[in-house]
Structure 1
Amino acid sequence: MKIAIVSALVGSAVAFAPAPAGRSSTAVRAALNGWVPDESKFAWGLPGALPPFEDGFDPLGLSTGVPLGTIKQWREAEVSHSRVAMLAALGMLVTEEPIEFHPLFEAYNKDIGPAIRHLDEVDAVSPFFLAFLTIAIGSVEWNRALTGFAKPEGSFGFQQLNENYYPGDVRFDPLGLKPSDPAEFATMQTKELQNGRLAMLGAAGMIAQELVDGKEIFVSLGLAADRFDPSSVPIQF
């Protein structure tokens, strides 16, 4: 969880880094997954808006006049954070009371406590696992960088995306779920973004709640018994 949070924070900072202005209105015009950048539309016409905000929700005008390269960077960061948040929100719920499904713990023997401390427990028992986890996350990010990010050569901007790269499309679809029809693809990505935005708020809320009272989510809601004994785990709560 700590690594995921750090990665999200770093990604957020990177997303708002300056982008080269020279690639705005004259940038990519070829359709990417059915999307053709249109400067006259909100966020250059990228999907993700739902009624009653079909024209986009941006009360502070942060996206007004933003170059295409920067919009793509922001969307790349938003999609990446959405996916991490959806995994985090689901992971927190299934590893705590009353479900307590966790492949790294003998959860059937005892309540293993709030999810925000699970990696601390793993680190106390097997610190090499965190090194393995770091390498695994780094490998995934390395593949994303090779797929979507431009090579640092010529006129290059920090975290600049390839012109022929659609934000979030890392070409990983082992189940073949990606629609071939552009309209269906836009609908699917809108659903992913909406669920991801909710998950980012939800995961942040659950983490904050557990930091405040040190109790599991369903325990705080009164839907599960509090069986957690801090003395039963190898870390100090």
Structure 2
Amino acid sequence: MKITIVSALVVSATSFAPNARTGRTSTAVLDTLNGWSPDESEFAWGLPGALPPFEGGFDPLGLSTGTPLSTMKQWREAEVQHSRVAMLAALGMLVVEEPIEYHPLFEAYNKDIGPAIRHLDEVDAVSPFFLAFLTIAIGSVEWNRALRGFSKPEGSFAFQQLNDSYYPGDVGFDPLNLKPSDPEEFAAMQTKELQNGRLAMLGAAGMIAQELVDGKEIFVSLGLAADRFDPSSVPIQF
């Protein structure tokens, strides 16, 4: 869960800043954008992420209509990063709670420390210096992402402006070398990532809301696990 928390805080809210309309990108730049060629006539400038029956894009509020390329890339950057956080969060919440209860930092067989949404309270109480380390780690990862994807604040510059040569979400982290070299395979993989991430954002939000309402772990609320949590056993009381 602590890995999940780090990841969740690392990818804080981005984008949603207005910018001037950007025309088509040069061929030299397109070669670095994983085979994607911006097309203003297509939904979301032709970025992958749609599946049947929404091949033409799902946008009931019309937010993408007339949206500049630079802004669309910012939105996709935010969506991809939040999708990754949500997938880790949804999985992490289930792993650290009953009945699995795998805790990287706690001995779960000694006591049940309750819903995942309050585990950082336990970290703060047991090892407050860990939060300082957490802040440094978050800053380091975000600094690397900023250097790779965001424009330098010089000349004609807009807030959170992405580099022309930066493909949204491609932060260069691929230790297992899973990224396809073929553009079509890459687009298919990103579509899968986005679709799973969108579902995870809804799922994680639902689980967090449920735990805030009743203070119980997810499988306990579903009646699939015993409730061993004793609120008096943790430093932060509910």
TM alignment of 1:116-135, pairs within 5 A: 116-135=117-136
How many pairs are equivalent? Answer: 232
Amino acid corresponding to residue 18 of structure 1 in structure 2? P
TM alignment of 1:90-109, pairs within 5 A: 90-109=91-110
- Greater CA drift, 184-193 or 124-133: 124-133
**Aligned mates of 1:75, 1:212 — CA distance in 2:** 32
Please name the residue that 2:36 is paired with.
35
Superposition deviation, residue 26 in structure 1? 3.9
Q: Deviations over 1:80-112 (max 9, x none)?
A: 000111111111000000000001111011111
In the alignment, structure 1 residue 18 sits paired with structure 2 residue 10: no
Residues 149, 163 of structure 2: 8 Å contact kept: yes
Q: Deviations over 1:13-42 (max 9, x none)?
A: x421212x14x2244552410100000000
Q: If the length of structure 1 is used for normalisation, what is the TM-score?
A: 0.93
Q: If the length of structure 2 is used for normalisation, what is the TM-score?
A: 0.93
**Aligned mates of 1:106, 1:6 — CA distance in 2:** 24
State the Cα RMSD in Å: 1.6
**Aligned mates of 1:94, 1:15 — CA distance in 2:** 31
Please name the residue that 2:219 is paired with.
218
Q: Per the alignment, in what secondary structure is the counterpart of residue 15 of structure 1?
A: coil
**Aligned mates of 2:123, 2:182 — CA distance in 1:** 44
Structure 1: unaligned runs, 5 residues or longer: none
**Aligned mates of 1:157, 1:168 — CA distance in 2:** 19
Amino acid corresponding to residue 220 of structure 2 in structure 1? V
Superposition deviation, residue 134 in structure 1? 1.2
Please name the residue that 2:189 is paired with.
188
Distance change (3 Å), C-alpha of 1:172 and 1:81 = same
Please name the residue that 1:145 is paired with.
146
Q: Per the alignment, in what secondary structure is the counterpart of residue 206 of structure 2?
A: helix
Structure 2: unaligned runs, 5 residues or longer: none
Please name the residue that 1:70 is paired with.
71
**Aligned mates of 1:147, 1:216 — CA distance in 2:** 39
Please name the residue that 1:166 is paired with.
167
Percent of pairs with identical residues: 83
Distance change (3 Å), C-alpha of 1:73 and 1:120 = same
Q: Per the alignment, in what secondary structure is the counterpart of residue 71 of structure 2?
A: helix
Residues 28, 37 of structure 1: 8 Å contact kept: no
Q: Deviations over 1:59-95 (max 9, x none)?
A: 1110001000000000000000001111111110000
Q: Per the alignment, in what secondary structure is the counterpart of residue 165 of structure 2?
A: coil
Residues 28, 163 of structure 1: 8 Å contact kept: no
**Aligned mates of 1:44, 1:110 — CA distance in 2:** 52
Distance change (3 Å), C-alpha of 1:207 and 1:4 = farther
**Aligned mates of 2:64, 2:10 — CA distance in 1:** 24
